[in-house]
Amino acid sequence: MLSEDKRSSIIDVTDGIKLDDIQRRKLQHEFKLYMEQYFKRKLGKGVDHTKIVIWEDMLIIRGEGFLTEPEKYIVATAEGEPVVRAARLQVARQHSLDNVPYFEERLQAKVIHQTYDIEPENDFWMHVMVFNRILTQ
């Protein structure tokens, strides 16, 4: 059973309601914390900067500062960028498999399109999900 404080901090997105601005910002913050914990747990290193945007029918996750020191060294070599990109794309694929169900459950919507990209030379990644309904007012 959740305490009174925990219940009031959780956004209830039932029956496909559209999030108002306050609910949207709270959920974005919840997702940000969730993603930071996920990467720290899975990779042993969190992302330096995470930004989450929920808008209309989309959820956009953006991260900067995710490369390890060895990966930064490899990216700086002549053939290193494609190697790190391929490895990190595999991490992004796994992130999608692990986390899309969580986002679908929290938003009470299904992901109908998604894409992710990695720019190892800029230490940047993003994941964009399009849902089957409008999420925001």
Could you list the pLDDT tens digit for every one of the 137 residues in the chain? 444 444 344 555 556 689 999 999 999 999 999 998 888 888 777 788 999 999 999 999 999 988 888 999 999 998 999 999 999 888 888 888 999 999 999 999 999 999 999 999 999 999 999 999 999 98
CB 114 within 8 A of CB 104: no
Asked, for residue 40, whether it belongs to a domain, the answer is: no
Q: Give me the number of domains the chain comprises.
A: 1
- Sort 69 into a burial class: Cβ within 10 Å, 0-12 / 13-18 / 19+: exposed
Identify whether 2 is part of a domain: no
User: How far apart (Å, rounded) are the C-alpha atoms in residues 42 and 60?
Assistant: 20
**Domain assignment of residue 71, yes or no:** yes
The single residue listed with the structure tokens 């190697």 is 83
Q: Determine the structural domain holding residue 74 and report its residue range.
A: 49-137
Counting every residue written for the chain, the total comes to 137
In a domain, 98, yes or no: yes
129 belongs to a structural domain: yes
The CA distance from 10 to 2, in Å, is 10
Q: What is the pTM of this model?
A: 0.81
Q: How many CB atoms lie within 10 A of CB 25?
A: 14
Residue 4 lies in a domain: no
| C-alpha span between 135 and 23 (Å, rounded) | 11
> For residue 123, is it within any domain?
yes
Q: Does 24 reside within a domain?
A: no
pLDDT for res 92 = 85
